[in-house]
Amino acid sequence: MDQRRIESVILENLLFNDEYSRKVVPFIQLEYFSNGVDKIICDIIKKFITEYNTLPSTEAISISLNKDKKLTEEEYKTATNLLSSLNKKDKFPDLNWLLAETEQFCKDKAVYNAIMESIHIIDGKSSTQTETAIPHILSDALSVSFDTHIGHDYIEDSDERYQFYHKVEQKVSFDLDFFNRITGGGTPQKTLNIVMAGTGVGKSLFMCHHAANCLTQNLNVLYITCEMAEERIAERIDANLMDITMDDLKDLPKQMYDKKLNTKTAGITGKLIIKEYPTATASSNNFRILLDELAMKKKFKPDIIFIDYLNICASARLKSGGNINTYQYVKSIAEELRGLAVEYNVPVWSATQTNRSGFSNTDVSLEDTSESFGLPATADFMFALIATEELDEQNQVLVKQLKNRYNDTALNRKFILGINRAKMKLSDVKKDQQFGLVQSNQSDTKTLGSGFDGESFDEKFKTSKEKFSEWKV
């Protein structure tokens, strides 16, 4: 069926075929029609159905055309002639066939429009998008499809719902007990997970530790770094796995290094790929290209992805600066990374800095997110790492849950981890050594101080070790 014919058939069925219209209207875009008058008629039909939940009559469309002051005389005449040519059939075409033809029409037009938009960007005629947006534009076009699912019927679909309740969700677990507790056993697929901290507190340390742990679980791990060199990330993971300080690692003879590495990696079937990108240049589109190359050249499909870190990535859709504010830009990056998680069916981990006030605080909240509150709005799981001089003296770091879609954030909202910065390792601190932090009724306060019997966080940490056991939340 030629294009002009399919457009006429679509308009006729949109106007007269109620069942067809209800299935198609959500997916039909005006830009799919090549003729301007077709767009006008389609726009009137879509708006009428949306507003009145019924098909418009030809008289209603005619009145709408007459009231449209933006139409030229020629456009009005052409539209009126087109309307009169659309006829109600005694028998409509087979619905399934017609839906398939319409879906293919939409796909073809979406791809064509995406190619034309890409050419526009390449020619430098777009003020808001760069060439890095092109793969995303084409990907969106190729994903166009009619969603036939019309919703969950509460009564009829009870069996399906029961099976869902008892389905074991695939998760990537931790080697840290409290993180398994608060996530219900680990992070699920198709999620974006964020660690927030000030500079040097432990964002990259956490991700390197968790990446090393995932490797020992025989998982395929992709670690993308936009801050440090690939070798620096590998060095941190070496120190973690070999249980050796980075200073001692540098002095280790090659024979001893090989022996330790082989011992720690013996029997591991997973792979760890570390890829470096220049700061603020790489977007989710670059990561997709990398994933495609890894699949083709190394047969590598990741089970988990680490991106170090979100704020120094680029957006695939938006240009930084200009009319784009920070909220929009950072939220766009977060949405794109979460989209990557969904597309490749993996958990994605990234990090963000605290803002200036958060960096100087002894406690951190969502308001302390650097640059954009749009990030926590998009993330599935988010926590803060908090360090003080007193905690550092104890080789500890405080963890505070900020957002958790996997569990109740009131459960173990705050807890302490052991930290060995020289070996890039984290460890559990027993519940009886948590100084009253690990309780199910911890309140979400702006500062830790308001949860410690009226004394500030700093005041408590200035007390002796003996007083730690007396703390109450």
Q: Which of 91, 126, 142 is the last residue of a domain?
A: 142
Distance CA 160, CA 139 (A): 31
Could you tell me if residue 63 is inside a domain?
Answer: yes
Query: Are residues 177 and 125 part of one domain?
Result: no
Query: Are residues 115 and 254 part of one domain?
Result: no
CA 158 to chain CA centroid, nearest Å: 30
Distance set, CA 352 to CA 1, 105, 231, 303 (Å)? 53, 43, 22, 22
Distance CA 171, CA 185 (A): 7
Contact 401, 361 (CB under 8 A): no
Contact 472, 441 (CB under 8 A): no
Burial of 14: CB neighbours in 10 Å, binned 0-12, 13-18, 19+:
buried
pLDDT reported for residue 472: 36
Query: Are residues 94 and 193 part of one domain?
Result: no
Angle at 459 between CA 458 and CA 462, to 5 degrees: 85
Could you tell me if residue 131 is inside a domain?
Answer: yes
Token readout for 394 is: 């104890």
Query: Are residues 200 and 115 part of one domain?
Result: no
Give the count of domains, the chain.
2
- At a CB cut-off of 8 Å and minimum separation 6, what does 168 contact? none
Question: How many secondary structure helices (H) and strands (E) does the chain include?
Answer: 20, 11
Distance CA 370, CA 377 (A): 13
Domain coverage including residue 223: 172-468
Which residues pair with residue 307 across a beta bridge?
Answer: 224, 350
State the DSSP string of 296-330. Answer: HHS----SEEEEE-GGGS--SS--SSTT--HHHHH
Query: Are residues 454 and 363 part of one domain?
Result: yes
Query: Are residues 178 and 114 part of one domain?
Result: no
Could you tell me if residue 148 is inside a domain?
Answer: no
State the DSSP string of 208-221. Answer: HHHHHHHHHTT--E
Could you tell me if residue 159 is inside a domain?
Answer: no
Distance CA 196, CA 351 (A): 6
Could you tell me if residue 47 is inside a domain?
Answer: yes
Query: Are residues 37 and 133 part of one domain?
Result: yes
Could you tell me if residue 166 is inside a domain?
Answer: no
Q: What is the pTM of this model?
A: 0.63
Could you tell me if residue 428 is inside a domain?
Answer: yes
pLDDT reported for residue 466: 43
CATH of the domain at 113: 1.10.860
Query: Are residues 418 and 316 part of one domain?
Result: yes
CATH of the domain at 246: 3.40.50.300
pLDDT, averaged in runs of 10, over the chain (473 residues): 78 88 87 88 90 88 90 89 81 80 89 91 86 83 72 86 83 94 93 91 94 96 92 95 92 92 92 92 88 90 93 81 73 89 93 64 59 76 90 91 88 90 92 65 38 38 41 35
Query: Are residues 176 and 128 part of one domain?
Result: no
Query: Are residues 248 and 125 part of one domain?
Result: no
Query: Are residues 178 and 104 part of one domain?
Result: no
Q: Which of 121, 142, 163 is the last residue of a domain?
A: 142
Query: What backbone torsions phi and psi does residue 221 show, to the nearest 5 degrees?
Result: -120, 130
Alpha helix positions (H), 308-413: 326-344, 356-360, 374-378, 389-393
Query: Are residues 314 and 420 part of one domain?
Result: yes
Q: How many C-beta atoms lie closer than 10 Å to residue 466's C-beta?
A: 7
Contact 378, 352 (CB under 8 A): no
